[in-house]
Amino acid sequence: MYNVTLTVLKRIMDDPSSKYTQRGDAYAVYGNLKSFEFVFILHLMKEIMGKTDTLSQALQKKSQDILNAMDQVATAKVSLDTFRNTGWDKFLEDVTFFCEKHQVTVPDMDSPYVSTTYRPRKNDLHVTFGHYYRADLFLSTLDKQLHELNSRFSEHTMELLSLSASLASKEINVEDICLLVERYYPGDFTEQERIGLQYQLENLNIEMKNNIRLSGVSNLPDLCKTLVETQKRETYNLVDRVCRLILTLPVSTATTERAFSAMKIFKTRLRNKMSDEYLADSLVIYIEKEIAENFDSNSIIDEFKDLKGRRAEL
């Protein structure tokens, strides 16, 4: 892919029929692609995205396994931290090999660093290429990634996920679920309901051992689904409420991210003048395509027609 891109750019640069601006842009991009710094950053991005891809894919799923999400967060942290502490030599070796293979000039890491994007300052003369690429790019980027993971998945968040996972096992930990409700959902349950929840959890634990349909439940989504199918949702209404609150937790952030990603696609320059309400309505249909496919256009037209009289025939 790297060689193909360079070949295309070179053809544009050498093609006399290309516009002057196109040749100029191609020349600038070609120069950047042939720089050691670009290759270095490209390889660093590849490593970071590769080590966090499994976590990213897991968090984007609409139905999330809490235990799996916790494992993926911990794995991503360890992987990035190990790469930060012990991966520099191997990483630099791979980057250097790539540069030599594609005729990209490799700077002397012991020489004073000279920037190609701005006029060098006096302090730059005391910084070597090795220090710049290792400290200012390699370590700094990985530290930011680790900081982002630690801030997004703090001890507070991990405790919440850990307590939530107590409801996703074959035997429910009653104490953990009651502690979860007391700490994180005090506004969703009254004091009397919290007492009732404890007894519902104890009874559900017993029934999960004796009831064949409940005994096969091994995760939270299945538990919530089985409570509905067996018509025990009303019997264990407080447990059902906890299930729904916990299931909402891990996917709320990913849902928001998907909405903003869709907005970038949907709200083009041609649609910038649409009202917020119309945009929101349109985005709901665009984002929730699976649900929208079940809608019947004729039933929507009939319902719209019944709201009030229309001059035009629908």
Say if CB 236 and CB 204 are below 8 A apart: yes
Q: Could you state, in order of their start, the residue ranges of all structural domains in the chain?
A: 1-34, 40-153, 169-251, 268-314
Q: How far apart are CA 41 and CA 49, in angstroms?
A: 12
- pLDDT value at position 289? 75
The DSSP letter of residue 296 is: -
Q: How many residues does the chain have?
A: 314
Instruction: Read off the pLDDT of residues 2-34 as tens digits, 9 standing for 90 and up.
Output: 888 888 887 888 877 878 788 788 888 888 888
Q: Is 103 left (phi over 0), alpha (psi -120 to 50) or beta?
A: left
Residue located via tokens 């990209």: 104
Percent of the chain whose predicted confidence (pLDDT) is above 70: 82
Least confident among 46-60, 117-131, 141-155, 162-176:
117-131
The three-class DSSP label of residue 261 is: helix
Instruction: Read off the pLDDT of residues 105-125 as tens digits, 9 standing for 90 and up.
Output: 999 998 888 776 555 555 555
Return the number of other C-beta atoms located less than 10 Å from residue 126's C-beta: 9
Which tokens hold the place of 20?
């002057």
Tell which residue, 53, 144, 148, 42, has the closest CA to residue 94.
42
Distances (CA, A) of 280 to 273, 275, 289, 290: 13, 9, 14, 17
170 or 134, which is more confident: 134
Q: Per mean pLDDT, which of 42-51, 63-72, 270-279 is the most reliable?
A: 42-51
Distances (CA, A) of 27 to 30, 34, 36, 115, 151: 5, 11, 16, 19, 41
Mean pLDDT of 41-66: 82
Bridge-partner residues for 128, per DSSP? 112
The DSSP letter of residue 275 is: -
User: Where would I find the H helices in the chain?
Assistant: 2-14, 20-33, 36-59, 66-86, 88-101, 129-131, 140-152, 155-164, 174-184, 191-210, 212-215, 220-229, 237-266, 276-287, 289-292, 297-307
Residue type, 47: E
Q: Is 72 left (phi over 0), alpha (psi -120 to 50) or beta?
A: alpha
Percent of the chain whose predicted confidence (pLDDT) is above 90: 25
Residue type, 312: A
- pLDDT value at position 121? 54
Residue type, 23: R
